[in-house]
Every structure is written in structure tokens, then in C-alpha cells.
Structure 1
Amino acid sequence: MFTGIVEELGEVTAVENLGDSSRFRLRGPLVTEGARHGDSIAVNGVCLTVVETGDGEFTADVMAETLKRSSLGSLTTGSRVNLERPTAVGDRLGGHIVQGHVDGTGAIAERTPSEHWEIVRISLPAGLSRYVVEKGSITVDGVSLTVVDAGPDHFTVSLIPTTLALTTLGLKESGDLVNLEVDIIAKYVERLLGDRAPEATP
């Protein structure tokens, strides 16, 4: 489990195409400190398993399904990425509960800068808008954010200077894809209520 509080702005140092998957090498001296084979690290909000570590870098294999459902397939050597280690039991939950299981991708639709922050409008794929509510939580490229406004096919977030400076969200341009993970609690509530809904009478 993660919290959506990005620890490090890392970099892709190599991408190897393996046919039905890809192997990424990523630089992140902070998140690789003490990391071992089999550990998890979130990369732009996608939970990946560490294969090897060394010299401040780690490798991870990414299946075709993950490449298709997330924006990781568009990463190339030199791409910057948000990195976060799993939350340890007893740590503060600084953001919200994040699984690292991307629900879909959106695109940066509009950026409106202000003096001290920036409003960003992001498109929503069909089927996810019902999970996004005003003042609720959403994960964008692994960053825990509060929804400012929720529409049928988009939502907006307000980015503070720290988020703009220390995450990929400060680098994204209009049209760029971002990974989205909606609040897991909303999905569980929907499933529970759906199972309890009375059957329609003929």
C-alpha cells in the first residue's frame, strides 16, 4: 500500500523491449536505499516489483497488460517519473490509501497558472467519473490530490508549488497522459450496494 506522497523524482535510464513485456531501469537513489529483490516501488502510481538494484538504480519488469492500461508504455530513456516506496505499518498516512493499481489514463486538458499555485483540468475515461467527487481524493501519476471540481468527463486539481517542483505534474503539458487511480473505498461501496440491490420485478 502507498499513500500518494511522492518521495523522489526519478528518471528512466533504460527500456528493454522483451516482446510481451518491457524491462525498465530507473534511477532513484532514495527509494532504492535498502531495496531488495521482490520489493515494491510505485512508478508514476503503478506498483512494480524490484528485480535488481545497484548504484542508485533498480530494474522492474512491466507486463503488456500494464503497458496497455497505464502511461508506462510511453516512457522512454530520460523520462522523469514519480517514485514512492510502500508505507510501513505505523507510518503516517500523509495522503490517502493508494494501491498502485491504475484504473485508467487521463490527459492533461488545460493548465491555468496563478501566482502561487496552478489549476489543472484532466480528462476522465468513461466509467470513472462516478468515483470522482468534489473534495474527494484521486491519485494522478502516483500523486495524492484533492479534487476541486468533478465533471462528467473531467476533473480539476489545484497544484501547490511543492507538487509542481517535486513531481512530474510540474512537467506535464496539454495532451500528456497521466495514470489515474480512484478511491478504493468508492469501488467497494459500489460493489456492496450493488450486491444488496433488490432484483427488478418482471
Structure 2
Amino acid sequence: MFTGIVQGKARIKTIDRLEGLSRLLVEFPSDQSATRCGASVAIDGACLTVTAVDGSELAFDVMQETLRITTLGKLQQGDWVNFEHAARLGDEIGGHLLSGHIHAVATVAAVTNTPNNTNIAFTVPEALRAYIFHKGYIGVNGASLTVGHLTPDGFSVDLIPETLRMTTFGELAAADQSQPAGVNLEIDSQTQVIVDTVERILKQKLG
């Protein structure tokens, strides 16, 4: 499990595209020698298993299904990603619990920059919109965010300068919006269970 509090940005050093999987070598901003093979690390919100450790570099094997359903399949050498090591018992849950299981890719619809705040709007696949609520939790590229506003095709969030500094959202905010970027989306599991349960009960009563 993860807390949704991004620990920093890491850089994709190499990508080895093999049959059925991609092997990522990721360079972290600090020594990773304390990380063990088999440990879980969220890369842009997707839970991956460490396969090798070398100083500040960790290797991951990313299976075909993960490549298909997330943005990891479109990563290029030199790209920056958000990372978070799996939470340990007793860690502060500063965001909300995330599993690292991505539901879908959303796209950046609009970015509004002001001196001390950035608003980013996302377009979400229609099947997931029922699980998104005003002021609810949502995981975007591994970051626990609060839904600021609902839009006809998704939602938007407001980000403070510190969040932009610690994550790759700063790059999203500065990117050319004529080519919308994709982000990994994880719906809050408790919200999903409640919505699905209520819908099922209503169908049974009305059925």
C-alpha cells in the first residue's frame, strides 16, 4: 500500500523493450541501497517490483498489461516520474491509501497558472466519472489529490507551489497543451465500493 505522498522525482535512465515486458532502469535522487529486491515502489502511481538495486538506481520489469493500461508504456529515456516507496506499519498516512493499481489513463484538458496556484483539469473515461466527487480523494500519477471541481468530462485540482516542486505536475503545467499529456488515475477504493454497492441495491429493489 501507498500513502499518496510523493517522495520525489526519479529519472528514466534506460528502457529495454522485450517481448511481453519492458525493463526500466530508474535513477533516484538519493542512494537506494536500503531497498531490497522484491520491494514495491510506485512509479507514477503504478506499483512495481524492484528486480535489481545498484546505488541510486533501481530496475523494474513492467508486464504487458501494466504497459497497456498505464502511461508507463509511453515513457522515454530521460523522462521524469513520481515515486513513492511502499508504506510501512506506523507510517503517517498524509494522503489517502492507494493500492498502486491503476484504473485508467486520464488526459490533461486545461492548465490555468496563477502566481501561487495552478489548476489542472483532467478528462476522465466515462466509466469512471461516477466514482469522482467534489472534495473527494483521487490518485493522479501516484499523488493523493483532492478533487477541487467537477467538470462535464472529468475534474480539476488546485496545486500549490510545493506540490509542483516535489512532483512532475510542474512539467505538466509547463507543457504544450496542444498535445495533451496522459496521467495514471487510481479511484479511491472506498468510494468505488460504496457507489457500486448502492447501485446494485437500487437495481435489485427496482428490478
Report TM bin, short chain.
over 0.9
Q: Which amino acid aligns with 1:146?
A: T
User: Is the 8 Å Cα contact of residues 129 and 152 (structure 1) preserved in structure 2?
Assistant: no
Counterpart-to-counterpart distance in 1, 2:147 and 2:115: 20
Q: 1:189 aligns with which of 194, 204, 207?
A: 194
Q: C-alpha displacement at 1:118, in angstroms?
A: 0.5
Question: What is the rounded CA distance, in whole Å, between the counterparts of 1:132 and 1:32 in structure 2?
Answer: 35
Uncovered stretches (5+) of structure 1, i.e. residues with no partner:
none
Gaps of 5+ in 2: none
SS at match of 2:156: strand
Alignment map for 1:87-102 (pairs within 5 Å)? 87-102=87-102
Contact 1:7 1:84 in 2 (8 A): yes
Amino acid at match of 1:178: V
Q: Deviations over 1:106-134 (max 9, x none)?
A: 11111111110111111111211111111
Deviation at residue 154 of structure 1 after TM alignment: 1.6
The 5 Å alignment of 1:27-46 reads 27-30=27-30, 32-46=32-46
Matched, 1:48 2:60: no
Q: Say what the alpha-carbon RMSD is for the aligned residues.
A: 1.5
Could you give the per-residue CA deviations for residues 36-69 of structure 1, whole angstroms, max 9, x where no partner exists? 1100000000000000001210110111111110
With normalisation by structure 2, the TM-score equals 0.92
Whole-angstrom CA distance in 2 between matches of 1:191 and 1:123: 22
Is the counterpart of residue 177 in structure 1 residue 177 in structure 2? no
Between the aligned partners of 1:26 and 1:190, the Cα distance in structure 2 is 37
What is the one-letter code of the residue matched to 2:7?
E
Instruction: Spell out, residue by residue over 1:46-96, the C-alpha distance to the aligned partner (whole angstroms, 9 max, x if none).
Output: 000000001210110111111110000110110000010011111110000
Residues 33, 54 of structure 2: 8 Å contact kept: no
Q: TM-score, normalised by structure 1?
A: 0.94
When the two structures are aligned, how many residues end up with a matched partner? 201
> Where does 1:112-127 land on structure 2 (aligned, <5 Å)?
112-127=112-127
Shift of 1:194: 4.5
State the match for 2:156 in structure 1: 156
The structure where helix makes up a greater share of residues is: 2
Q: Is the 8 A contact 1:111 1:121 kept in 2?
A: yes
State how far apart, in whole Å, the 1-side matches of 2:206 and 2:31 are: 52
Once the 2 structures are TM-superposed, how far is the Cα of residue 185 of structure 1 from its aligned partner? 0.4
Supply the distance in 1 between the matched residues of 2:115 and 2:66 (Cα, whole angstroms). 37
